[in-house]
Amino acid sequence: MSWLDRNCGQGVYVVGRRWTFPEVAQVLEERYGLAEMRISLPESSPLDDHRLTEFGRWTVQPAEGGPVRHLVQYARTHESVRAAENVWHMAAYLNAAADVQAGVPTTSVRADRDGALVSTAAGQSPCVLIAAPPGARADRCPDPVAGVALARTHQVLAVYDRPARRESAWWEASGDEVLATHETAAAAVPARSGDLSAFLRSLNEWVRGRLEDLRAGVTPGEEQALHGAFVAERLYWRPSDMCGVGEPAPCTGTPGWELARLAFPLRLLADSETWLEKATALLIAYRNQHPAALNPAALASTMRTATLDLLTRPAATAQVWAQRDAALRTLLSHLPRAEELLRAALSRRIGS
């Protein structure tokens, strides 16, 4: 039974307050059986911001040394607790599969004494006790190793219950909806960050003139459960290999959408002249690991999917607005010739 089912009843809890250090120690001992712990506020958390409403995050380590974990306290609202449960249940599922199938681990969560992933003490807010994967975060994508890891993740999640949240704006949102979303996002960026009007004019031109044409060249494929946050900046690496991925943002969508985001990352498109070569290598690695997922034509259309995702996804900072503008100019100026080269390379290397 979930924390919501046990505690929320028919009401919605109001936001409370952040715990004190003694209260953190009490929760650790009562809910997790952990006593004599060093508790501190992390200077910078190695864990991803999974966009849930939080009160606080603490670094927790045995006094005599040992593994470092993080205790995260959530707001007592129906929305935040349900979202937390969805994140950590998928994370636990992926980690169990990684143990059996030699997959890539994700952020792990320690169950409390009752076996619950999202825990609570009497009268307290819900919380989770989590640990990052081994290694350190580094942006090395697109890397073929990451393509193999994503393919394994998609294979595992093919039988996972589809989350309620769908990632479909890139395929379904109307031009008016897309532009309204961008205008709202631009209005939230502080004026001191820079003038975004030129970026908005370019987006308006591209959305009005290219959106439907881009969609016409894509076959979206079957939807399934997706990690939802399998992107370059959330991957963990040791010096020689990839060793983990940050916690999921569970959603339902097409594997091609998530693959496109990994193969054509924003930073690479904005800065590098080798983006097509690197994307091709990652797509081949994905296809070799999971040949049933996408045929060469569908793999090649991930370039259009990446373009559509950039056209429809709002940006939160002026820096990302500028990077996205540069990335879109790269993709739109190279279509359809680069897509033809990509399709030929995939067919030749895969043998299809």
Rounded distance, CA 238 to CA 342, Å?
A: 30
Taking the alpha carbons at both ends of the chain, their separation in whole angstroms is 48
Residue bearing tokens 């895969």: 350
Backbone angles phi, psi at 288, to 5 degrees: -65, -35
Tell me: pLDDT of 122 over 70. Answer: no
Q: How confident is residue 101, by pLDDT bands cut at 50, 70 and 90?
A: low
Assign residue 319 a region (left: φ > 0; alpha: ψ between -120 and 50; beta: otherwise): alpha
Report the percent of the chain where pLDDT is more than 90: 53
For 177-224, the pLDDT digits (tens) are: 999 999 999 999 988 888 899 999 999 999 999 999 999 999 888 999
Q: Which residue has the higher pLDDT, 25 or 78?
A: 25
Q: How confident is residue 105, by pLDDT bands cut at 50, 70 and 90?
A: confident
Tell me: pLDDT of 49 over 60. Answer: no
Segment 17-42 shows an average pLDDT of 90
What rounded mean pLDDT belongs to the chain? Answer: 86
- DSSP sequence for 286-342: HHHH-TTT--HHHHHTHHHHHHHHHHHS--SSHHHHHHHHHHHHHHHHHTTHHHHHH
Structure confidence at residue 112 (pLDDT): 93
Structure confidence at residue 133 (pLDDT): 81
Segment 108-116 shows an average pLDDT of 91
For 242-262, the pLDDT digits (tens) are: 888 988 999 999 999 999 999
Tell me: pLDDT of 282 over 60. Answer: yes
Segment 82-103 shows an average pLDDT of 82
| Residue ranges with strand state E in the chain | 37-40, 54-62, 69-74, 108-110, 127-131, 136-137, 224-226, 235-237, 242-245, 251-253
Segment 113-118 shows an average pLDDT of 90
Q: How confident is residue 80, by pLDDT bands cut at 50, 70 and 90?
A: confident
For 143-178, the pLDDT digits (tens) are: 899 999 999 999 999 999 999 999 999 999 999 999
Structure confidence at residue 172 (pLDDT): 95
Mean pLDDT comparison of 6-10, 35-39, 203-207, highest-scoring range: 203-207
Count CA within 13 A, CB hemisphere, residue 200: 15
Structure confidence at residue 4 (pLDDT): 42
